[in-house]
Structure formats: C-alpha cells, structure tokens
Structure 1
C-alpha cells in the first residue's frame, strides 16, 4: 500500500510539473497540491480537503460512493476506465448521493462554481445521473465513461462555458448527454455562452444528445449510434426560443432502437437529428445514415413542431450527407417559416424536392 501511494504521488507531482490542467484561479495558492486517493479511501474527504487549483487523483480500482464538488478550480481525475465509481452500499452521505447521482459539481443560486474538471474515469450504475453539473461556469468533463445510469449519463443545467469532450455515454436510461436551462421550472432558453460538445461517443441510450431550452452552443464531430434518436434539440413556447446553435460534422448512424411514448414525447425510433421549436440553428456537414423508424419523428434530419405546437423558424440545413434514412433523409413536418434546405447530398425528402 505504501509503495502504491508513493508511486501515485510521484506521478501526480510529475503531471502537475508539466502543467496539466488549467492554471490556478486568482487567489489560489502559489503551489497547487495533489491529493491521491487509493481504493478503499474516501474520495469525498480528499475533495473536501482540496483548494482551488488542486488536483484529486484516483488510482485504478472501484470506489463505492457519490462525490459532491463545490470548490472552484479543482480537478477530479482518475486513471482512465480502470477507475470506476459505483453507488455506495451505506446510507447516503450527501445530497449528490441522495439524488441518485455519481459525481455532482454544484454551485448556488447566486454563485456558479467555476473551473472544475472531471476527467478520465468511469461512473456507472447510479439511479439518476453519472456526472451532473448545476450552476457551473467553465465545467470540463472529458474522457469520462458513463454507463448504465438510470436517467442521464452526463448532464448539466444552469451552466455556461462548459466543455464536454471525448466522453463515452452508453446504455443510459434517457440521454447519454443532457443539457438544459433548468429542469424544475418553465423558463426561456438560456445562453450557454459558448458551450462545446465535441468528439463524444453516445451509444445505445434513449437519446444520444438532448439540448433543451438552450442557445449559443456547438455540437461537433460526435459519433452517435444505437440510440432511439441521435440529437434532439427541444424548444417550446417560452421566450427566448431554443436555437442559435451549430450542429456540425457529427456522424449519426443507425439510431434505430425503439423507445415508447412518454407523457411529453411521442414514441422514438430511427431519428438522426430532430429540431422541435428551435430557431436560427445551423445543421451542416453531418453524415447521417441508416436511421429508420415508424415514429412521427423518424428520418435523417427532421423538423417537427414542439410538444406544445411551437414551430421551428429560420433554421438552415446545408451541406449534409444523408443515405438510407427512412421514411426520408430530410423531413419537414413543421409549418414554421424561413427554414432552408440547400446543398445536401440525399435521395428522398418529405415533402419532395428538398434534395
């Protein structure tokens, strides 16, 4: 045990010496510290002891607990997929565990928690969400594998300037990656101030990526397959509307799992990209193939009125490659104005003439 601890301390010191991670926030100590956790030890205790700029390293192994992060500027980093966080067997010790979540990064109503990174670990088996961020600014989640969580693999609400990069979310009950303004009240779409979702793998979830009531973000170069729907952009009657985002360079193939109807959403199957109640969104240079289903929202790229009947407007669908999607590669089932389809490589559309 002592030899293992020394080895990981040496590793941690070396990583910090070469400058991994962001620079410490203003006001942090001159020398960021490394806190090393071994299997059987408490991650939460190390996180609570960490200050802004510090890194908590998790050795390979399985940890049975939920972890709540409220300190700005810290990094929680595992050793790759071999670092596994699962639900604890004892009574819940914090609100993250009580909510059925694995890792929670949480600010307050008045103050976002800034500059937190969660990286290089697996989180699995939680009743609700693997990694959950609320009221965050500059949250980074990268190289995280979120598997078989009850609702969402990775989720964030009331958050700005987030980065979700090179994660894998698989076999989660709802969305692999879920981003929203807020889930507890009605409100207009929030400006994410440039949130970036890129190079993630979303597989065998209900929905690969859900973007709900948000504006000003980019979803780029992700791989989505085996879900009921690939990318779902959700708006409604609230103002401002969802939209003003870019969906670019994603590979979306065979999202043909069948998911039953819910109280707020029709049955899903065979949907590549769906826009409902969205405006001013650019959908470009995506490759969308083999998405086949019998849902009202089935097809390669689909514009559809929202659950409450709000139309999509001024969206531009351009330069995409679509093959083998059914009932069609492009489907415009919306009555909104200003939506354009141009320069796409496809064979069939509804209505005809958009290819």
Structure 2
C-alpha cells in the first residue's frame, strides 16, 4: 500500500504589530493512497481521525468497515468502483428485496459485540459494501464517503449506524440487493449529489431503527439534496424520523418517488420538509409485500406522519393502479395511524393519476395553492 503523507506546516509566522508571532500548530493529517489490488481495509485500519483514504481509479473487489471517527474515504469519481469479492458476489438478484424483508436483510450490527470492530465486521461480511458502524458507547461520527461507486452487493451499497454527522456525496449506488445508501440511529447527516439506481428496495433509506418498533427520532437537521434516484423500488424512504429536509432531488423510473412513513409509536414521524424536487414517471410496477401494497405511479406518499411540509415540487406523469398511486398521496397507515397537520402547498402537478389524493382521516391536513387538475376526493385542486 502506497501512502502519501501530507502534513500541515506549523511554522507559519505572522507579523503582529511590531513583532513576529508564530501561528498555533495545526494537527497533521495523512492521505493514504490505495491502488487496485491493494487492500482498502488495511489503509482504513491504519488511518487516524481526520485522515483521508484515497482510492485511485479502478475496481476493488472488497467490502470495507469504517470504525474511525472523522475519516474520509474518497475515490476519484464513478470510475472508482467497489464490488463484492468474486466468491461473495450475488449481483442484484437477492431473493428478498422488498420492504417487508428489511428487518431480516438489515446488516447485523453485533449487539453483543464488545468492540466496534466486531460489529462492523459482521456488517461487511453480511453482504454490504461500505459499513460505517458504531455502537451506543462508541459512535463513529464525522465520517465522509465520497466520489466512488458501490455496485452489486447483496444488501446495501453504503450502510451506517451510530454515525452522526455522516456525509455521503458524489456516490453512485447501483444494483445492490436491498438499499443503495442506508442509515439508522444517526443524526445530522448530509446526502448530496448521489446517484442511486436499480437497487432492490430504496435508493436512499433513512430510518430511526430497522429491526425495532420505536418512536421517531430527531435527525437534528439531516439534509437530502440534489440526488438522482432512478429505477429503485422507492427513490427515498424516510421511516420514523423527524426534522429532516429533502430538497432539489430528481426521482424518476421508480415504483414510488418519496415515502415518509410513520406508525403507531410515539413520537410520530414528522416535521419533514419535501421541497423543490422533480418527481416524474415513477411508473415501474412492484408487487405487494407483507408490509406494503403493490406500488406503481406514486410521487410523494405521506403515511402516519405529522406536521410536514410538501411545497414547490414539480410532480408529473406518475400513473399506476396501486391504492397508493397519485402525485401527492396522504394515506392512512396500514396499522391505522392517521396523518395530521401536514401542509401541501404551491406544488405543480400534471398528468398524475390523480394529482392529489387524500384517503386519510387525520385532522388539520391542508391543500393550498397547488396547480393541479385532478384529485381524490374532488375539490383539492
């Protein structure tokens, strides 16, 4: 493994008044450069907080565990590709990719593990590409994953838990068996300028927790913006979370564009802002599962959510035969939880079937200022 050590000089002098004053020393950080055929994991294990592991152009047949806070794992663009090892590769044909299978296909985070390393190992070994896995006692915060492709993993391209302040940007997640990029037990995330295409379930899946039934948690301002979600079952799923923004994303060719999902647990999912996204032709057909009806032609679906804002989106030509079909849909959750006090305003909707849908019996939901032509019930436009 080749390393390029880059240290910030602490010898800069500054002229202060009539004398010279030395600038305070700055901690040195190291760039660990990895080439195809070399081990990414060895470089990651050798890195210290604040270091960068730089992957050069080419294909790496490897899963990677990140357990060092503040680490940056970065490629040089889409041409830096992580794929499963040949013996472990299952391509994109994992037999169980539906949301109903999510608990059983979620990466094991080793709840009995005494060390983060053991938890992370079970994640990567379980069919995931890049794992950023902490525990309640040892968070792996401030990690950045950037400028690379994760493709063909049986479960998830990039998976993170107990990883506050995670940044994922310019990552292409394609043809992974379940999720393209997924997080749980994490806050203050930034997901920007990524492409998630042809993944088995959601391109981006953000949840409070995957295996447990708990109330929604506060993401403290997680941002999902300027991503491209194409050909997945669902473009973006936000499950049991609060205080999150989806803005400026392009979603097309999925079975459904955006799902904001809550249930009977308290607090409810909510305080989610969905604004200025372009959501069109999400007409792929996906079969019914144990947890969710068949999907086709859904733009934005809110179910079991409260106090959320859907505004200034362009939503066109989402057409299907699912009970959840429509441009913007308020749908009473399958466990009977209503959606309350959500505001649907100033959206442009054309060619959806129908444009606006409200089958929810919740209170305080409003539809105002939308440009649309059809609704169920009539009169929402």
Question: Is the TM-score greater than 0.5?
Answer: yes
- What CA deviation, in whole Å up to 9, does each residue of 1:44-92 have, x standing for no partner? 0000000011000000000011000010001000010000000013579
The answer as to whether partners of 2:132 and 2:163 remain within 8 angstroms in 1 is yes
The answer as to whether partners of 2:276 and 2:314 remain within 8 angstroms in 1 is yes
1:275-294 matches, cutoff 5 A: 275-294=302-321
The answer as to whether partners of 1:65 and 1:97 remain within 8 angstroms in 2 is no
Task: Tell me what 1:108 maps to.
Answer: 135
Alpha-carbon separation, structure 2, partners of 1:288 and 1:266? 22
Structure 1 position 240, deviation (Å): 0.2
Alpha-carbon separation, structure 1, partners of 2:319 and 2:28? 55
Alpha-carbon separation, structure 2, partners of 1:116 and 1:149? 22
- TM-score (structure 1 length as normaliser): 0.92
The answer as to whether partners of 2:6 and 2:28 remain within 8 angstroms in 1 is no
1:71-110 matches, cutoff 5 A: 71-89=68-86, 94-110=121-137
Structure 2 unaligned segments of length 5 or more: list them.
Answer: 10-24, 90-119
Structure 1 position 109, deviation (Å): 2.0
Structure 1 unaligned segments of length 5 or more: list them.
Answer: 18-27
> SS state of the match for residue 96, structure 1?
helix
The answer as to whether partners of 1:290 and 1:323 remain within 8 angstroms in 2 is yes
Task: Tell me what 2:271 maps to.
Answer: 244
Structure 1 position 110, deviation (Å): 2.4
- What CA deviation, in whole Å up to 9, does each residue of 1:138-160 have, x standing for no partner? 00000000000000000000000
Q: Is residue 66 of structure 1 aligned with residue 63 of structure 2?
A: yes
- What CA deviation, in whole Å up to 9, does each residue of 1:141-185 have, x standing for no partner? 000000000000000000000000000000000000000000111
> SS state of the match for residue 94, structure 1?
helix
Q: Which has the larger radius of gyration?
A: 2
Alpha-carbon separation, structure 2, partners of 1:13 and 1:352? 64
Alpha-carbon separation, structure 1, partners of 2:297 and 2:88? 41
Structure 1 position 349, deviation (Å): 0.8
Task: Tell me what 1:220 maps to.
Answer: 247
Q: Is residue 134 of structure 1 aligned with residue 161 of structure 2?
A: yes
Q: Is residue 195 of structure 1 aligned with residue 192 of structure 2?
A: no
Query: Which residue among 151, 154, 157 is the counterpart of 1:124?
Result: 151
Task: Tell me what 2:30 maps to.
Answer: 33
Q: Is residue 333 of structure 1 aligned with residue 330 of structure 2?
A: no
The answer as to whether partners of 1:66 and 1:96 remain within 8 angstroms in 2 is no
- Call closer, same or farther: CA 1:45–1:191 in 2, change over 3 Å: same
When structure 1 is superposed on structure 2, of 87-96 and 264-273 the one drifting more is 87-96
> SS state of the match for residue 114, structure 1?
coil
Structure 1 position 260, deviation (Å): 0.3
- TM-score (structure 2 length as normaliser): 0.85
Task: Tell me what 1:272 maps to.
Answer: 299
> SS state of the match for residue 47, structure 1?
helix
> SS state of the match for residue 129, structure 2?
strand
The answer as to whether partners of 1:281 and 1:314 remain within 8 angstroms in 2 is yes
- Number of corresponding residues: 336
Task: Tell me what 1:319 maps to.
Answer: 346
Alpha-carbon separation, structure 1, partners of 2:121 and 2:362? 46
Alpha-carbon separation, structure 2, partners of 1:32 and 1:351? 60
Query: Which residue among 209, 230, 238 is the counterpart of 2:257?
Result: 230
Structure 1 position 307, deviation (Å): 1.4
The answer as to whether partners of 2:36 and 2:60 remain within 8 angstroms in 1 is yes
Root mean square deviation, CA, Å:
1.9
The answer as to whether partners of 2:301 and 2:331 remain within 8 angstroms in 1 is yes
Moved over 6 A (4+): none
